[in-house]
Amino acid sequence: MLNLVALILLFPLIGTVINGLAGKRLRKETVGYLACGAIGLSFLVSFMVFIGLLQLPPGERLFEKHLFRWIESGSFISAAALQVDPLSVVMILVITGVGFLIHIYSIGYMHHDKGYHRYFCYLNLFVFSMLLLVLSNNFLLMFIGWEAVGLCSYLLIGFWFEKKSASDAAKKAFVVNRVGDFGFALGIMLIFLTFHSIDFTEVFSAVSHGNFEKGSFTVTMITLLLFIGATGKSAQIPLYTWLPDAMEGPTPVSALIHAATMVTAGVYMIARCNALYLLSPFTMTVVASIGVITALFAATIGLVQNDIKRVLAYSTISQLGYMFLACGVGAFTAGVFHLMTHAFFKALLFLASGSVIHALSGEQDIRKMGGLKPHIPVTYKTFLIGTVAIAGIPPFAGFFSKDEILLEALVRGNFIYWSLGAFAALLTAFYMFRLLFMTFHGECRVDHHAMEHLHESPKNMTLPLVALAGLSFVGGFFGIPGANALEHFLAPVLGGHGHTEVSGTVSAGHHGAWLPYLMMVISTAIALVGIFLAYQMYIKKPELSKKLAERFRLIHKLLLNKYYIDEIYDAIFINPTKKISTQVLWKVIDVRMIDGSVNGIARLVGRIGSVLRHLQTGYIRNYAFYIVVGCILIIVLAVFGR
């Protein structure tokens, strides 16, 4: 069954090609079914591969499928080959599973859009690229997927490109990602220079055979460069600014970018390269610090945003910060676990918010919502489940993964990581419930135009919501402490690199068995406090939030403007770049030097020609004379020239 792995990639590609070339002539239903069917089949095959992998003994769960020889140049060899191991199987299941639900949802959501076939073509391509990224067995092929994901995000964020804000957001996402990708590409080159190979297996086995000492400079450089790539794709400080703007795309796209694909690429990459990262304590510290700072930073911005999708965007950045925190302290399994549960509940939240926006005919401002609970019950219930899951209330998915990350941060990291993470968790619970309360509870602030069209979404939109709600509910049990199935499954990839213990439960042995349970109680209490605060501020005393905003006007303004990071980047990077581009690159280098040299050469040729053409006298005598002189020269050369 493992041999079928290439089909996982093939189906979305076929969907892309057919919808891209012939989608205009196909009927709308056909386009939708084709795209969904492609991802659905891909999911089925992924599941079969998963079963196939389970039948192997845990130690041998690595399967490589060689497709074709791709690049061979001297000692540089890169094959197009796929790799199936526990980590990539978890990823493809999440990508195709959540992706499939998002595709179904899109049929309903995008039904009236005139770019219907274009949308599904891009969507399939997006899934294809992400699958390529997680299935490749070497860094270069992974880089292809990595870039293709960036391209698809550009196409989809700018899907409504007639809107200037959308095309700007798309450009921003593309350019910011390029900055990260530059680091990633440099990292790959350095890997090749160091290991003379870019195959995962060869690189990691070279590492695990101890050819490199811990903390060596080269490995630190490699991991840092790769991490720069990860900050771009996974929206971490300092390259996170594209993600909130990416909300300009259609809502299902936001769900796809935020949940199943794209932003998880960085976490996946670090988990994949865990052998390298474990060799560099410095990089691990950087990763963990960036992660926890991002988690807190984005959560504070999320507190005051008023756009329903933007709040979710900042919560994504914050949750990704947790994943990096987990990776940074060496708890890769916890990171991947949170990646998985986050995929479920964040896709759910985005799709549910899309359903809200759909119901309100395009309104995204939560100040103009409220009291929607009785009007769109299914959306409300599923949104509630998603919110509870992200806030970290047991037994929902987010609780187990976040709790495990916090526990690992305390056990393997230090108290600072834990306290910052826990504070961010408090904020998360607060702003998510603020979002919930302002959208669905309280008095209705919807204007009467939108009120007339208020309706629950059609079946093909609510069904994916229900399915994702189910996953958000049970998703946590894959990694429940004690019988951590996910952990055991991933152990051959993530745990076997000289680390004594990975599991939070086992490491608790050093600290007493009570620690995990205490931590659970604490994180639950933290989440409840956040919810209680939100309840107090937005249900009980709605005027309280205004008063607080008045009281801390400066901080409120700072948060509302997202710490002015965009403005700072504008001032430091973008405007100088623009200025240099126009003043130097355009007006001097391009106009004067490049255009000047081209025109100069043309003018030179003209001048020489105008002198030389006087040789053409029109007198036959002259021509005959030249011929004779030439003949004599040839004879002289032939006779005396040897």
Partner 1 sequence: MITITHYLVLSAILFTVGVIGVLIRRNAIIIFMCIELMLNAVNLSFVACAHYLNSMQGQLFVFFTMTVAAAEAAVGLAIIVAVFRNKETINIDDINIMKW
In the complex, the residues that contact partner 1 under the rule CB under 8 A are 613-614, 616-621, 624-625, 628
Report in angstroms how near the CB of residue 189 gets to partner 1 at its nearest: 57
Select 513 or 615, whichever has its Cβ closest to partner 1: 615
Least distance in Å: CB of 630 to partner 1? Answer: 13
Nearer CB in complex with partner 1: 448/614: 614
Among residues 575 and 617, whose Cβ is nearest to partner 1? 617
H helices present in 158-216, as ranges: 164-195, 200-208
Q: How far is the CB of 601 from partner 1 (least distance, A)?
A: 22
Q: How far is the CB of 607 from partner 1 (least distance, A)?
A: 15
Distance CA 551, CA 490 (A): 49
285 forms beta bridges with none
**Nearest approach, Cβ of 623 to partner 1 (angstroms)?**
10
Task: Report the C-alpha gap between 33 and 40 in whole angstroms.
Answer: 10
CB of 616 to partner 1, least distance (A): 5
For partner 1, the closer CB: 518 or 624: 624
Name the nearest CA neighbour of 398 among 409, 387, 407, 408.
Answer: 387
Nearer to partner 1, 581 or 617 (CB): 617
Give the whole-angstrom CA distance, residue 405 versus residue 253: 28
CA distance 567 to 564: 5
Question: Closest CB to partner 1 among 75 and 610?
Answer: 610
Least distance (Å) between residue 605 CB and partner 1: 16
C-beta of 209 vs 614, nearer to partner 1: 614
Neighbours of 209 (CB within 10 A): 8
* Residue among 12, 200, 254, 202 at smallest CA distance from 88: 200
Alpha-carbon gap, residue 315 to 300, rounded angstroms: 10
Cβ at position 621, least distance to partner 1 in Å:
6
Question: Minimum distance from CB of 615 to partner 1 (Å)?
Answer: 9
Shorter beta-carbon distance to partner 1: residue 514 or 619? 619
CB nearer to partner 1: give 554 or 612. 612
| Minimum CB distance to partner 1 smaller for 27 or for 621 | 621
CB nearer to partner 1: give 583 or 617. 617
In the complex, the smallest distance separating the C-beta of residue 614 from partner 1, rounded to whole angstroms, is: 7
CB of 584 to partner 1, least distance (A): 43
Gyration radius (Cα) of the chain, Å: 29
Q: In this structure, what DSSP letter does residue 159 have?
A: T
* Cβ neighbours for 162, distance < 8 A, ≥ 6 positions apart: none
Distance of alpha carbon 595 from alpha carbon 587, whole angstroms: 10
* Distant-in-sequence contacts of 160-167, Cβ < 8 A, 24+ apart: 160/248, 160/249, 160/250, 163/248, 165/248, 166/248, 166/249
Measure the CA–CA gap between 408 and 405, rounded to whole angstroms. Answer: 5
The three-state DSSP-derived secondary structure of 64-117 is: EEEEEEEEEECCEEEEEEEEECHHHHHHHHHHHHHHHHHHHHHHHHCCCCCCHH
User: What is the biggest distance separating any 2 CA atoms in the chain, rounded to whole angstroms?
Assistant: 113
Query: How many angstroms separate the Cα of 246 from the Cα of each of 103, 163, 257, 339, 404?
Result: 19, 13, 9, 20, 30
Residue type at 618 in one-letter notation: G
Q: Which residues contact 468 (CB under 8 A, 6 or more apart)?
A: 98, 101, 344, 345, 347, 348, 351, 382, 386
What distances in angstroms separate CA 517 from CA 317, 399, 513, one per listed residue? Answer: 28, 13, 8
- For partner 1, which is the closer residue by CB, 606 or 618? 618
CA dist., res. 498 & res. 396, Å (int) = 32
At its nearest, how many Å lie between partner 1 and the CB of residue 631? 9
**Residue recorded with tokens 């079928």:** 4
CA distances from 274 to 51, 280, 594 (A): 25, 10, 47
> Could you tell me the smallest distance in angstroms from the CB atom of residue 634 to partner 1?
15
Query: How near is the Cβ of 622 to partner 1 at its closest, in Å?
Result: 9
Query: Is-contact 82 22, C-beta < 8 A?
Result: no
Closer CB to partner 1, 513 or 611, in the complex: 611
Distance CA 264, CA 470 (A): 21
Task: Using the minimum distance from each CB to partner 1, give the nearer residue, 513 or 612.
Answer: 612
